[in-house]
Amino acid sequence: MSVSFEKVKMAFARILEELEKNRQYLNDLDAPIGDSDHGESVTGAFRKVKEAVDKYPQEDRDIGKLLQEVGKSIIFSGGAAMGPLYGTAFMDAGKVVSGKSELTPQDVVTMWEAFAGGIARRGQAKVGEKTMYDTIYPMVESLKASLAAGEGFEEMMSKAIEAARRGMESTKDMLSLRGRSSRLGERSIGHIDPGAASSFIVVKAFLETLLGK
């Protein structure tokens, strides 16, 4: 089983489609604990990604280079606090699969591990702080466990999506320790973190595209 360059390109079109559908939902999630604009920010950033992916030279099938272009486009999109996090994450992911025109299951795991590492490094993020990292980290741990267990690609991706969903949902009961919402203290409890929610949409769209769904 391998993932083609075309599938990775398609994944970014699918991410934008899903974010557009959920833009108002993400704004509404942001309303009690932020500026009510998370949906606008993240969707705007991935519109820039789609432009970068569409402009990427057709003859160049380097997935690593494509991911680094995606990262740069997000950093320059001005997508509020999440811009540098996603940007760094995709650039780090691109570095570890540089020169590859298709990805093995091991490459997919390595890529997402680097992605999570970029968020942790750039945002000084830890699990339990009510951020996008609470979605990404369990997803990566699930991928690693599935790979170690020799599971099939479909099972591996499906379990990772569910791990990301559970991670996102776990933020509802957390006290926010990062960003503007941390000023709310106890009032931040009871709301899913918008960044965790948008990360779930991104992860789910990407992994489902790899499965051809």
Instruction: Give the residue extent of every domain in the chain.
Output: 3-210
Q: What's the pLDDT band for 185 if we cut at 50, 70, 90? A: very low
Short-list 188, 144, 212, CA closest to 34: 188
Q: Compute the distance between CA of residue 71 and CA of residue 56 in angstroms, rounded to an integer.
A: 13
Q: Which two structure tokens, joined as six digits, stand for 23?
A: 């833009």
Count the Cβ atoms, other than its own, within 10 Å of residue 175.
15
Residue 37 has pLDDT above 80, yes or no: no
Stated pTM of the model: 0.90
Both tokens of 57, joined, read 């030279």
State the pLDDT confidence band at 173, using cuts at 50, 70 and 90: confident
CB 163 within 8 A of CB 139: yes
Would you say 178 and 122 are in contact if contact means Cβ atoms under 8 Å apart? no
The CATH superfamily holding the domain 3-210 is DhaL domain (1.25.40.340)
pLDDT score, position 188: 55
pLDDT digits (tens, 9 = 90+) for 98-156: 999 999 999 999 999 999 999 999 888 888 888 899 999 999 999 999 999 999 999 99
pLDDT value of residue 65 = 97
Check residues 57 and 175 and name the one with the higher pLDDT. 57
Note the pLDDT of residue 120: 93
Cα dihedral 159, 107, 71, 122, rounded to 10, equals 70
Check residues 11 and 183 and name the one with the higher pLDDT.
11
- Which among 123, 127, 143, 146 has a CA at the least distance from the CA of 135? 127
The distance in angstroms from the start CA to the end CA of the chain is: 16
Beta bridge partners of 3: 103
Give Cα 81 distance to the centre of its chain: 14
Q: Which pLDDT tens digit goes with each residue over 44-99? A: 999 999 999 999 998 999 999 999 999 999 988 765 677 889 999 999 999 999 99
